[in-house]
Amino acid sequence: MLEVSSLNAYYGKSHILRGVEFNVQEGEIVSLLGRNGVGRSTTVKSIIGEVSPVGSIKFKGEEIVGRPSFEIAQRGLGYVPENREVFPTLTVRQNLMLGMKSGQSNPRWNMSEIFEMFPNLAERADVPGGVLSGGEQQMLSMCRTLMGDPDMIMIDEPTEGLAPKVVEQVSRLLEKIASRGVAILLVEQKLNVAIRISHRLYVMGHGKIVYEGTPASLKQADDIRSEWLEV
């Protein structure tokens, strides 16, 4: 589904990504772990076209480096940014409608199902997005992306700052997304969440991948967790 190889990215003269390589297969939940500032967000921004990288990024077998973000999204790659980017003056319903693509046939998700999964959003369907709680905005941002029926979705820090109950809701939604064949690349800070729902995990450090493995293997890798993840 997604193949990243020899990926380098720069902010001015700062070399942020240094030969990053990883892949995500259809229906997989793959987590990208690491401390703040190691390049995880830059990686997903490079993939979606918000940062101009050097290297190769193939999505469904096609090279997408150099493509504008809207073209990459139209090819079926969804992106939920860390800051959520909900349209504050538009209602919940209008935010969801903006996620829809013209000409969609038999999409995996529709508004009725979204509202059934998240009664809080249904109850506030005609409320401006800007007055929602942080957890509700996170759900709205993710669901808006799903309305575009992506084949893969990249989600940057979806549980950041959320209450434990909302974190559990987010986790269940991610599992449901993957169960419908949608691949997920998850940038996550909470190790327990990533280990519980991921099929595979990558750990980043100093702008490159320093570890790849399963949740079970990472649990046993005390040295990796100590050096690259734990504070």
Query: Cβ atoms within 10 A of the Cβ of 98, count?
Result: 12
Instruction: Summarize pLDDT for 102-152 with one digit per residue, the tens.
Output: 766 777 888 898 898 888 899 999 999 999 988 889 889 999 999 999 999
Q: Which domains does the chain have, with CATH numbers?
A: 2-229 (3.40.50.300)
* Residues across the chain: 231
Q: Which residue has the higher pLDDT, 158 or 198?
A: 198
8-17, 26-35, 87-96, 132-141: least confident range = 132-141
Sheet holding 200-205, edge to edge: 77-80, 152-156, 183-187, 29-33, 200-205, 208-213
pTM of the predicted model, to two decimals?
0.91
pLDDT averaged over every residue in the chain? 91
Chain segment 46-83, per-residue pLDDT in tens: 999 999 999 999 999 999 999 999 999 999 999 998 88
pLDDT of residue 85: 86
